[in-house]
Amino acid sequence: MIAFGGGTAWTISQSYDRYLANPTVITLDKSYRSWNITFPATTFCFVNRLDTEKAARLIKRKWGVDKGKKFDYYMKFLGVLSNSSYNNLASFEEFKNDRQLYKENLLSLMNEVCLEDVIFLLESKFVSFNKKNLHINEIL
């Protein structure tokens, strides 16, 4: 009986230590049979998050350019920046040698030129929007 009690205490202790080290893994191990995941029927994503009017004002204010090749270059940079994600980071390759862009706060620039009512909370991946900016393109 003492051996049974000792074995039980040891097993409980080991499970508790494992839970403290990896609580998510333990939860997944124990509760996967009761999962009921309902996937959304439709998802909406902004195809282009850049507000070109805001971007044009920013380019004129920050870099003193309002037309020409330099304007197009900065507009393209802001477009790449506002639509950036982990999957398209290679799009920044074109701008890697521009020392003037090194000193810029990219998050601040992105927040200045993105569509109104698009809120980027990068830590939590939360996006909110206003219906007036919603455009639906059927792909199928």
The DSSP code sequence of 117-135 is: T---BTTTTB----GGG--
Q: What's the confidence (pLDDT) of residue 90? A: 87
Q: Give the CA distances from residue 58 to residues 15, 20, 24, 32, 75, in Å, rounded to whole numbers and listed in that order.
A: 57, 49, 44, 50, 10
Q: Please calculate the CA angle 119-122-126 and round it to the nearest 5 degrees.
A: 50
Q: Are 20 and 82 in contact (CB under 8 A)?
A: no
Lookup: tokens for 42 = 């439709």
Is the model more confident about 113 or about 59? 59
pLDDT over 60 at 68, yes or no:
yes
Looking at residue 42, its pLDDT comes to: 62
Domain boundaries, the chain: 2-34, 52-133
pLDDT class for 137, splitting at 50, 70, 90?
low
Contact 59, 68 (CB under 8 A): no
Does 33 or 105 have the greater pLDDT score? 105
Mean predicted lDDT score pLDDT of the chain? 76
Q: For residue 73, which amino acid is it?
A: Y
Alpha-helical regions (H) of 22-134: 23-31, 52-63, 69-82, 99-102, 106-113
Is pLDDT at 51 greater than 80 in this prediction? yes
Report pLDDT for 58: 92
DSSP code of residue 85: -
Cα gap 1→122, rounded to integer Å:
56
Amino acid 100: pLDDT: 85
Instruction: Read off the pTM.
Output: 0.53
Neighbours of 22 (CB within 10 A): 11
The more confidently predicted of residues 125 and 81 is 81
